[in-house]
């Protein structure tokens, strides 16, 4: 398969540097052809461990960040997952490999044009049955399919949007980069009955969340 060696080198380095370790995650990242999720001219750089432009001023997260988030989310086959910030569809495709046909990934993307691109990318990889890409304001969650086992946000949020916490199942887990416009902390949150357990996973930088609970940029 095209770029297989580059992909293997990247995944090996993510393991070596301690970003990923679970066998199912290594397998999932090995299966997803990241070069199909970036614009044609960026294809040769798709397996470099850095974010890449995907158009409309947005980026596909660096592979190590996708790896960290997928590890921390504690995914399993059969889970129903909500992604806020679908972009290219790459992150959703990796998650889809883990939740499988008995699970589902609902991915909300704010920019119409990107939703279309993400949808096409998902289809190209044969994951259309597991991933549904929807155009809309994901800061409001996606109440029609709630509650979710897992929710993750791939853009920077000024706060922890209440609808996302509400739409999480009991024992559900949420990952969200939260903080300022230019620098955030990756926040992990677990719902335990009426209790919320929170952990911080360190600094990160994401493009801003827009919409109702996002940054007011325009
Ligand atoms: N997960 C993506 C990363 C995309 S970057 C991938 O694998 O490619 C983050 C994305 O969040 C951008 O595409 C941006 O348009 C989107 N976004 C920003 N605010 C949003 C909102 N309120 N709802 C849904 N998507 C949003």
- CATH code for the domain in which residue 184 is found: 3.40.50.150
pTM over 0.95: yes
Average pLDDT, the chain: 96
Does residue 134 fall inside a structural domain?
yes
Does residue 215 fall inside a structural domain?
no
Q: How confident is the model at residue 2 (pLDDT cuts 50, 70, 90)?
A: confident
For the cut 80, the answer to whether the pLDDT of residue 217 exceeds it is: no
pLDDT digits (tens, 9 = 90+) for 194-207: 999 999 999 999 99
For residue 99, count CB atoms less than 10 angstroms from its CB and return exposed for 0-12, middle for 13-18, buried for 19 or more. Answer: buried
Does residue 214 fall inside a structural domain?
no
> Whose CA is closest to 51, among 8, 198, 42, 70?
42
Q: Which two tokens stand for residue 93?
A: 């495709």
Does residue 136 fall inside a structural domain?
yes
Q: In this predicted structure, what is the pLDDT of residue 100?
A: 98
Which uninterrupted H or E stretch holds 163? helix 162-166
If you measure from the C-alpha of residue 87 to the centroid of ligand 1, how many angstroms do you get, rounded to a whole number? 5
Given the DSSP bridges, would you call strands 168-179 and 104-109 parallel, antiparallel or unpaired?
unpaired
Which mutation among 65, 110, 131, 139 tests ligand 1's pocket best, with the greatest number of atoms within 8 A of CB?
110
For the cut 70, the answer to whether the pLDDT of residue 1 exceeds it is: no
Which ranges in 18-126 belong to alpha helices (H)? Answer: 23-31, 63-73, 90-99, 112-124
Does residue 213 fall inside a structural domain?
no
For the cut 90, the answer to whether the pLDDT of residue 218 exceeds it is: no
If you measure from the C-alpha of residue 21 to the centroid of ligand 1, how many angstroms do you get, rounded to a whole number? 26
Instruction: Provide the residue range defining the domain that includes 8.
Output: 4-204
Per the annotation, the verdict on 61 as an active-site residue is: yes
Average pLDDT over residues 159-175: 97
Q: What is the dihedral of CA 151, 136, 207, 155, to 10 degrees?
A: -10
Does residue 143 fall inside a structural domain?
yes
Does residue 76 fall inside a structural domain?
yes
- Mutual angle of helices 63-73 and 90-99, in 10-degree steps: 30
% helix, strand, coil for the chain, step of 5: 35, 30, 35
Does residue 212 fall inside a structural domain?
no
For the cut 60, the answer to whether the pLDDT of residue 70 exceeds it is: yes
If you measure from the C-alpha of residue 176 to the centroid of ligand 1, how many angstroms do you get, rounded to a whole number? 12
Q: Which two tokens stand for residue 137?
A: 């304001």
Q: Which two tokens stand for residue 177?
A: 């980069």
Atom of ligand 1 nearest to the CA of 93: 7
Residue whose entry in the numeric block shows the structure tokens 């086992």: 149
Domain count for the chain? 1
């Amino acid at each position: 398969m095209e770029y297989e060696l580059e992909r293997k080198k990247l995944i090996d380095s993510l393991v070596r540097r301690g970003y990923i370790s679970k066998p199912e995650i290594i397998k999932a990242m090995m299966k997803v052809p990241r070069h199909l999720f970036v614009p044609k001219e960026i294809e040769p750089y798709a397996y470099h461990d850095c974010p890449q432009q995907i158009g409309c001023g947005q980026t596909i997260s660096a592979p190590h960040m996708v790896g960290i988030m997928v590890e921390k989310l504690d995914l399993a086959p059969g889970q129903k997952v909500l992604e806020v910030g679908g972009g290219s569809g790459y992150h959703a495709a990796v998650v889809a490999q883990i939740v499988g046909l008995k699970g589902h990934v609902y991915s909300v993307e704010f920019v119409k044009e990107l939703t279309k691109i993400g949808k096409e990318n998902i289809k190209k990889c044969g994951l259309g049955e597991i991933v549904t890409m929807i155009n809309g304001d994901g800061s409001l969650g996606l109440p029609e399919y709630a509650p979710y086992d897992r929710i993750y946000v791939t853009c920077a949020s000024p706060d922890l949007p209440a609808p996302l916490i509400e739409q999480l199942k009991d024992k559900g887990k949420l990952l969200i980069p939260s903080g300022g416009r230019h620098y955030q902390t990756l926040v992990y949150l677990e719902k335990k009955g009426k209790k919320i357990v929170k952990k911080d996973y360190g600094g990160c930088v994401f493009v801003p969340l827009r919409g109702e609970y996002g940054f007011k940029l325009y």
